[in-house]
Amino acid sequence: MNPLLLLPGPVTVAKPVLEAMLQPMINHRGARFRELLDRVSAAMKPLFGTGNDVYVLGSSGTGAMEASIVNCFSPGDVVLSCPIGVFGRRFGDIAKTYGCYVETLNTPTGSAVDPQALAERLDADGDRRIAGVLLTHNETSTGAQNDMAAMAPVLRRHGALSLVDSVSGLGAAEFRMDEWGYDVVTTASQKALAAPPGVAMIALSDRARAAVLKSRTPRYYFDLTKAREFSHEGQTPWTPPVSIVYAVDVALQRYHSEGMDAAFTRHARYARAVRSAFEALGWTFVSQPGAHSVTVVAAVPPAGLAVAPFLERLREHYGVVLSGGQAELAGKIVRFGTMGDIGEDDVLRAIDALESASRDQGGSFEPGAAAAAARAAFAPA
């Protein structure tokens, strides 16, 4: 049996999506690629919640984050970074790298950004020095999810450009870019879209497009003015990862045949079931109640359970691949991803393995306790 991959990305990819990559190469400046690219960007729009263009970039998610920074700001611009974990800090670091003056709004680990705290900081910026605000929709390192709807009015009232990393959020949780008024939103192929890594997507509001024209940050590969011009010809400025675009195309067809609301519900149900199982085994969570992610469960083991041997046992003996923690959480937590082409049975199989591996490490539970807790969470309310 193949190992069951339940990472917070890359995720399990369905066979038809993998098979799509076996198609022959086509001219990336020809009619067939144009149809493909148009179809992919049209299929992405509802996930972003936008009527604006969606540009497909040949890069991982970090490339799209960099694109958003270098196209929107100029050296010396003041940017308010609102990290809630590793990926939020990365966003701020990119802005610093390109010469922005980065101020940080700190949030305790495991919490979402407090909209009130954000409002206070922005309201105090009477002379509007803050040019942009950096946010992470879903923080993969802590399993915490921001309430993007709640922050939207606060951001609009101030008027700074709002840049959102939704690499591990889009497709799994609702995002209404146009309605909420976000300016730049980025995502990538290897998360909730359940495709292989290699493609990122970015959408810009009209305000962001105007900012692109004013930005003086040097850029070449990630110049979104070029991306826009070429996208209107059904092309990308540079040779695209054609095979990955084939895969994303099929993944999006599968996604939409399930339906967006059904996909949101699926991720939320899986995350709830996984949390219930971990709780039954005595684990706690990095994320705080009210801020739990639907795509990543970041779980803290009970005293005495060592993470590295636990993950190894899960992988080598039970064929279940979960992830450890990053940065200050390395060696301290286990992360279980709910994204990808996985069914309820896969989740239950992984949960049984969690219980068995916990028992192998000295834990003692009623047999089936974790799966019973998960099944109860799966049951309709």
Cite the beta strand spans of 194-285 per DSSP E: 200-204, 284-285
Single out the segment in contact with ligand PMP by CB under 6 A; choices: 111-119, 136-144, 153-161, 211-219: 136-144
340: exposed, middle or buried (C-beta count within 10 Å: 0-12, 13-18, 19+)?
A: buried
* 84-123 residues near ligand PMP, rule: CB under 6 A: 87
Stretch that binds ligand PMP, among 59-67, 147-155, 227-235, 276-284 (CB under 6 A): 59-67
- Dig out the tokens for 298 from the structure: 């970041």
With a CB cutoff of 8 Å and minimum separation 6, the contacts of 341 are 11, 12, 13, 14, 17, 194
Minimum CB distance to ligand PMP smaller for 66 or for 341: 66
Q: Which is nearer to ligand PMP, 11 or 250 (CB)?
A: 11
Q: Which tokens belong to 130?
A: 């803050």
Closest CA to 351 of 287, 260, 271, 245: 271
Residues in Cβ contact with 189 at an 8 Å cutoff, skipping those fewer than 6 apart: 195, 196, 197, 198, 199, 200, 201, 244, 247, 248, 251
Q: How far is the CB of 188 from ligand PMP (least distance, A)?
A: 4
Establish if 140 lies at the interface with ligand PMP (CB under 6 A).
Answer: yes
Near ligand PMP by CB under 6 A: residue from 23, 26, 34, 62: 62
Task: Rank residues 9 and 241 by Cβ distance to ligand PMP and give the closer one.
Answer: 9
Between residue 19 and residue 58, which ones bind ligand PMP under the rule CB under 6 A? none
Which of 9, 171, 241, 363 contacts ligand PMP by CB under 6 A? Answer: 9
The dihedral built from the CA positions of residue 255, 141, 299 and 310, taken in this order, carries a sign that is positive
End-to-end CA distance of the chain: 34
Residue nearest to ligand PMP (CB): 61
Question: Interface with ligand PMP includes 136 (CB under 6 A)?
Answer: yes
Which residue ranges make up the site for ligand PMP (CB under 6 A)? 9, 60-62, 87, 136, 138, 140, 165, 167-168, 188
